[in-house]
Amino acid sequence: MLEDDKEKQEDKESLFKDFNKDDFGYEEVQDLVNQDIIHGYVDGTFKPNKPVTVRQAEILLSNMTRENVQANGNGALKFSVIAEMMIESLGLGEVGSFDENVETLQGAGIFTEVEYKEQDPVSRVKFSIYLHRAMNE
């Protein structure tokens, strides 16, 4: 590894003031940062528990797939919207009912929890974990 690359790697590893290596999802987020998929806020924070917005999800999925991803809706990202966005942008099949979409994402190894509620918001750290799983499946 070149010295400049090593310094860049070290900078990215200590990028967030509010997100430590012992925190849930830290490794996944750091991997996405290193791949230039996700970024923190200009104040040096990540705000892991803050709900991700639909627009942020569009940008992150676009960064990951290198394609233009667009979704219906705005404001905080709900599980119903994330399921549709991920199925469409990752080419996992046809979008169906919420339960069918969850099943598709569980089958792909992206959703691994037992229960999802359509209208629940998705935190930045959770969305990052889903992106990371999608990239590694």
- Which residues lie across from 121 on neighbouring strands? 78
Domain ranges of the chain: 25-135
Q: What percent of the chain has pLDDT over 70?
A: 90
- CA dist 21 and 3 (Å) reads 23
The pLDDT of residue 89 is above 60? yes
Helices (H), 36-123: 54-65, 79-90, 98-107
Q: What is the pLDDT of residues 46-73, one digit of tens each?
A: 999 999 998 999 999 998 888 888 877 7
pLDDT range class, residue 75, cuts 50, 70, 90: confident
Place of tokens 């792909």: 108
**Span 75-81, average pLDDT:** 87
CA distance 58 to 73: 11
67 and 92 in contact (C-beta within 8 Å)? no
87, 17 Cβ separation under 8 angstroms: no
Distance CA 36, CA 12 (A): 10
pTM recorded for the entire structure: 0.83
Q: Mind listing the pLDDT tens digit for each residue in 18-39?
A: 998 889 999 999 999 999 999 9
pLDDT at 125: 94
